[in-house]
Structure 1
Amino acid sequence: MDNLKENTPELSKIKKENPFRVPENYFDDFSARLQMKIEAEKKVVPAPKKSIIQLLKPAISLAASFALIFLLVYWPLKSFLPNKLAESNTIEIESYDNENQYLTLLEGIDENSFYALLDEPTAKVEFSDDELINYINTNISEYDIYLGTDN
């Protein structure tokens, strides 16, 4: 409060007029300037048409990212595990060839020959333990074996 009493004479010396002013002749040509701005807004430049490259850019970038991920995963695995990948491809090709040979053999047999093969007594074939284990490993899953056991 003491400070206010000391500053009161100095504050009363300040003139009480508005410090903000409008530039000279501002309102003289105001309507012309306003009209020019309105006309400029009406003449908006149309957006350029999108080219086919711009439309396909997201799809191309997505395909490129999948290709990059494939290369970053497949090539190191191929270099670290070359035998495993080659063996799986070989097994698939061999099984496909065996199935094709079997199907072509069956297609070439007429009905009478087929029935004759069924009626023929079959020779007893002995399998070794290793052959049976390999057959079970390739044709039956562990889950099927589990279901077949009596718990």
Structure 2
Amino acid sequence: MIYEIKTRQNLPITKQKAWEFLSDPKNLQEIMPDDMGFQIMSGADRKMFTGQILQYKVTPFPGYNTSWVTEITHVEENDYFVDIQLYGPYALWHHKHFIHEIEGGVEVEDWIHYKVPFGLLGRLMHPLIVKPKLAKIFKAREAKMVEKFGHFEVQNK
């Protein structure tokens, strides 16, 4: 079974500033929850490009450390980029990152399709462990983005 996550966050920054931050692979470490033990091992020494391979170490659960290797498969400067997992904790991970200009800032949209490993066992564990953990990661990321860029204020005319 393939699962889907869609998140959206409005930020009071320009599209260019959003792109500069989100498309710099080094910044991923800054917005991950501290308890994930997220470390970039290689590949983040250049500006993002199609074909870029990034290697991480991550601790999704206490006592479980794993490697995660992703490839940037598409880059449309200032608009979106796509990464896929080549190796890691998921049977499938396809993550699209969009930046939409809106009045007063940007909307950052993430659209992820993923599949958990371990067949039936993985599907049984999904609602108990995987889905809540992913929700926690994206909530933490949202909070760190607000901390860095500020709260979005709705524009009144």
One fold, TM greater than 0.5?
no
Give the TM-score range, shorter chain. under 0.3
Q: TM-score, normalised by structure 1?
A: 0.21
When Rg is computed on C-alpha atoms for both structures, the one with the higher figure is: 1
Q: Which has the higher helix share?
A: 1
**Larger RCO (CA under 8 A, 6+ residues apart):** 2
